[in-house]
Amino acid sequence: MKHERVLRALCVLISGAVAAMTPWSPAHAAPQSASKPYLFIAAPRETAARGQRDYGPIAAFLSRVLHHPVVYRHPNGWLTYELWLWKDHADIYFDGPQFMAWGVHYLHQTLGPRVPQPQDWRLYTWTGSPIKTLEGAATGATLCAPPVPNFGTLWVSDLFPNPARQPYFRNVHGWKRIFRDVVDHQCTLGIGPRLTIHSFDPDHTKVTILKRGPHYPNQGFTISRKLPGPVRREIVRALLSPAGEKAMMRLRKRFSHGRRLVAGHVRQYRNVDKGLDAQWGTIYAAGIDRYLKQDAKREGFAVILQAAP
């Protein structure tokens, strides 16, 4: 009997040591029934139906890889989305470089794959305009741009830090409409991506470039630090794999002209969130306003009043 007890104790010790030395794999993730799903969200630039079509396959793919449910949830608007990010409500994000940089800087999120092409912004006016310099555009000019938090609008806002010397911002949706309004003299200034402007004006006869932005990194994935480190690394590895490329087919076709996504590096996103703090400081400095409360209430989670990070 004594020898049997000793033998059983040795077996327990050996099995524990083997378990401790076994490397982590997706199969070791928490059982589906034991914990809540990982939440995957993206910036609400489309309808809920299109969001589900483009991002749903990615969530399904990650569910298979991690052996843990991953669900895509479509925010009902930009206020809800910004609040979710600000509170780190989700686990996996796909959004623009300004939000990626903010999440890495303040929430210590892990960078995932990103779109390989850089973002190159241009501020322009119509050819023959009396405005020839950036200083000349600072007062009295009308600037057509997408609503914030569009990264191009944040970039051009940062060019005019003095509130007493700023152009008048007019919210316009769509790069083609912005370009047309500038050419038709409905707006003095416009902004847009370099390649998009070139496609509208290949001969460079319709508009004149006033300011060229630097090469910013493009949009991509970030992963909340709430997830264990091995899970975050497995998500990055899976998205960069051939199977991940296939799951992201619609995303790649839409945002990277079909090119495969590449690994993101923290140094590429330093200071890319500039301009975002000013906007969020306005929204959150005195607490969440009543519109944001209503927006969050529809999404079914509580809003806590607190200062922005």
CATH number at residue 128: 3.40.190.10
Report residue 254 as tokens: 């839409």
Domain boundary among 169, 193, 212: 212
Return the SS3 of 104: helix
The model's confidence at residue 279, banded by pLDDT at 50, 70 and 90, is low
pLDDT one-digit tens code per residue, 60-71: 999 999 999 999
Of 168, 189, 212, at which residue does a domain stop? 212
* 225 and 106 housed in the same domain: yes
Q: Above pLDDT 90, what percent of the chain?
A: 49
Which of 198, 220, 213 is CA-nearest to residue 119? 213
Q: Which amino acid is present at 196?
A: T
Q: Please tell me the distance from the alpha carbon of residue 135 to that of residue 133, in angstroms, as a whole number.
A: 5
Q: What secondary structure, in 3-state letters, does 174-217 show?
A: CHHHHHHHHHCCCCCEEEEEHHHHHHHCCCCCCEEEEEECCCEC
- The pLDDT tens digits for 68-90 are 999 999 998 887 888 888 889 99
| Encoded tokens for 255 | 């945002």
**Beta-carbon contacts of residue 149 (< 8 Å; ≥ 6 apart):** 78, 82, 96, 98, 99, 276, 279
Q: Model pTM? A: 0.75
Q: Last residue of a domain, which of 162, 185, 212? A: 212
8 has pLDDT over 80: no
Structural domain tally of the chain?
Answer: 2
Sheet holding 92-95, edge to edge: 70-72, 38-42, 92-95, 220-223, 110-114, 262-263
pLDDT at 29: 43
